[in-house]
Structure 1
Amino acid sequence: MATGEITEGSSSSPELPKIFSFQSLEGITNNFSRIFCKDPFGPVYKGTLPDTDKEIAVKKLEQSAEIPPEDFENKVQSVYEIKHENIVELIGFCNQTLQITTERLLCYDFDPNESLQQHLFGPKATDGSNSADPSTNWDTCFKIVKGVCQGLLYLHKLEDPITHMDLNLNNIWLDRAMVPKIANLGLSRIFSEDRIKYYKEESPRYMAPEYLNSTGMSVSIDIYSLGVMMIQITTREENNDNLDKASRIYIKDIRKRWTAEHIASVYSSLDSECLHQVHTCIKTGLECMQIDQKNRPSIDVIVDRLNTI
């Protein structure tokens, strides 16, 4: 089996991402058998660096053959420069041609625990999530909401703002301390907007109406997706229908049912301060999901609101 060392000529400079050989990544992921999660862009595997026993996440990109090698590496470099506590950090990549195929993988400095989707709704849900009494896990969930918002604030306030374009529960990874990290950030730089939109149309419940209808793109797309996540985190109710009309019905139902009385009933063990947090998250989530993007709050307004309750 191949070793886990990086290829000759790869950089250990803090300014450049490491270049891994395909064989080394094959080795540290046990022949790509230690899967963490999967999405339309490709699976993510757990890997262990041989010299340090450090755990990393390795994403094996699919449908990337149309990207020129130099363009791919330049885009990876731009993602590598993004550093924030609530964003999964890119540490290296593989861009290697093997016979007739080119293998492209992204390596992240992250010890995979679970995705937010798994934590809330999956078979691995723990720490009281998805339980009859969500109050037992509210403090953790509220910290997750705030952490995701902090990461998005960083992206949207860069000199050259970044729109993630694919925010959803599967793209929020949780480390072992339950700190949320926005994942797959690089896909918005590496893949074209049309390619990302094509994949998102397979499951549009996180997609803003204007993006779904190809009428424009801005950071407000992420705000809409953030709103969907805030509602799901707070209510523990998923919108699993892939029709925009059904999403409208879902929002109307949330607005109608999740009154102050219903929140107090569902979160029966929370004090008044925490109940106010729940109510604010639902109210803010619904504001984020407004059809007219001009009426959605900006991420700095959302962060300020959450930090003052």
Structure 2
Amino acid sequence: MRARRRRRLAVGTLALVIAATVTVILSAGSSSSPSPASSARKHHRATARTAPTTGTAASSGPLARPGRSGSQPVPILMYHVIASPPSGAPFPGLYVTPSEFAAQMGALKQAGWHAVTLDQVDAYWHRGARLPAGKPLVLTFDNGYQSQFTQALPVLRGLGWAADENIQISGLPPSQGGLTRAQVRGLIAAGWELDTQGYSHADLIALDPQQLHSEVVVARGVLQRRYGVPVNWFCYPSGHYDATVISAVKEAGYKGSTTVVPGWAHRSDDSYTLARLRVLGGTSPTQLLAQIASVRADATPPAAYGGG
């Protein structure tokens, strides 16, 4: 009897020990595992920290606002051949040697100038477009001489500058020192702007209406189709123009024209009679800077110009 009581007591004690052990294990598991509500809160906080920000403010900056139209006047320089004049050249003053040209460009850069194109100036004056840092000026090259590609382009490319090429379609073939079509495309690829002096560099004020149409309208269409560029600016051959010529240039769709009358171009000027400063051979860098400054206050070009 006593033996049976001892066995029942031992079994009961063992049951109590097992129950206590299970309770401890369950309590420990409950304290180390988060409740569903706790898990949800932690997931929300983690998601809030790592989720990508969406919406316009994060994906893009503020829209750029168009600037106010600029009013700064701009000098336009005129170059022809970048080479030494050959013996017997009819117009030796139009030849600027490569060393002279490089020195002039270096002086302009040192003085704070930066070359831009006529289209850039037009956008600055009338649409508030920004120009590169520095004082703006335009470099124009007339007729389409090959030296403009072989000599001027490398110098300007080294400065990060572009220029305007006023090409004539006929009368200056590559065999006589004119640009090849591949070279014209090379200028365009380098950021130069292609403009024109017409089909054959004729004296426009001496032409009949059909001839004038060919020089101004047909020439632009040929260049547009050949090179795929707008050809927005005309350059009067030898600087000659009158009301009839200006009217033809306007009707052809050009934005404006450049002359040979010295001065600076202003936003308030007639865009079809923009002044230019011719750079002659033998001009030192110091002289060029002085010439640019000296013509700033010159009167605007006249309504007609026939040379002289």
Q: TM class, shorter-chain normalised?
A: under 0.3
TM-score computed with the length of structure 2 as normaliser:
0.23
| Larger relative contact order (CA 8 Å, sep ≥ 6) | 2
Provide the TM-score with structure 1 as the length reference. Answer: 0.23
